[in-house]
Structure 1
Amino acid sequence: MASQQPTPLSAPSSGLSPGGNHQPANLGDILERVLDKGLVIAGDIQVNLLDIELLTIKLRLVIASLETAREVGINWWETDPWLTGDGGRQLEDENRELRARIAELERAPEAIEGPTS
């Protein structure tokens, strides 16, 4: 008696079956493709009054995985102080230094005004 091996079923990566029928893609597949390749949405909004440009808004939206963004040179989140956690510490240090300078200046008003004669 011959044993039959099960044939693995796999959907083609194009989303089309060999017969040409379209197979619905689930949200996970779509999201994976978008993050892998990246997606750019760009648009401009202009407000004109009697051929006078009052306002222009340029919108750019990039959706990509972190790896894809790094490959194309987008890595602003790595140096943003608010996202890296360094922002609060830097502001606290600067605030402490400024308070110390103000206290020093308040103790020695002649340093600001100069010697009185």
Structure 2
Amino acid sequence: MVAEQPVSAVSQTGLGASGNHQPANLGDILERVLDKGLVIAGDIQVNLLDIELLTIKLRLVIASLETAREVGINWWESDPWLTGDSKQLRADNERLRERVAELEAGREDGQGE
């Protein structure tokens, strides 16, 4: 006769492999996710009679800033709306003002002759 051993809830969830038998709280889980990162990817397609009407591609990356930088994700560092660095926006605005002034001066010269 083989005696059955009870299986603990910790080993059922797979948390027993690390030797930590403490239940993880939300803070611990969030810290692990931000430290390692989490990627969620999915596609949604709407078809009608084998005709694709709509495709939505979802890509979600959850990570700390340090983890994102390590894998080469740093778009927020160069986005002028997020960085507050408006040098490029000011330069574009100045070029547009100069162009408008040129066009207005050309129009006035053409009307005066």
- Does the pair score TM above 0.5? yes
| Alignment of structure 1 residues 18-33 onto 2, 5 Å | 23-33=22-32
Q: Which has the larger radius of gyration?
A: 1
Where in structure 1 are there 5+ consecutive unaligned residues? 1-11, 18-22
Where in structure 2 are there 5+ consecutive unaligned residues? 1-15
Residue identity over aligned pairs, in percent, reads: 79
Give 3-state SS (helix, strand or coil) of 1:57's partner: strand
Cα distance in structure 1, aligned partners of 2:80 and 2:19 = 42
Match of 1:43 in 2: 42
Give 3-state SS (helix, strand or coil) of 2:58's partner: strand
- Give TM-score scaled by structure 2 length: 0.70
Match of 2:20 in 1: 16
Cα distance in structure 2, aligned partners of 1:40 and 1:83 = 23
Give 3-state SS (helix, strand or coil) of 1:74's partner: coil
Residue 13 of structure 1 and its aligned partner are, at CA, apart by 9.5
Cα displacement string for residues 5-50 of structure 1 (whole angstroms, at most 9, x for unaligned residues): xxxxxxx994732xxxxx3211111111001111111110000000
Residue 80 of structure 1 and its aligned partner are, at CA, apart by 1.5
- Give TM-score scaled by structure 1 length: 0.68
RCO (CA 8 Å, sep 6+): is it higher in 1 or 2?
Answer: 2
Count of residue pairs the alignment pairs up: 96
Cα distance in structure 2, aligned partners of 1:41 and 1:68 = 16
| Alignment of structure 1 residues 1-117 onto 2, 5 Å | 14=18, 16-17=20-21, 23-86=22-85, 88-109=86-107
CA pair 51-60 structure 1, distance change in 2 beyond 3 A: same
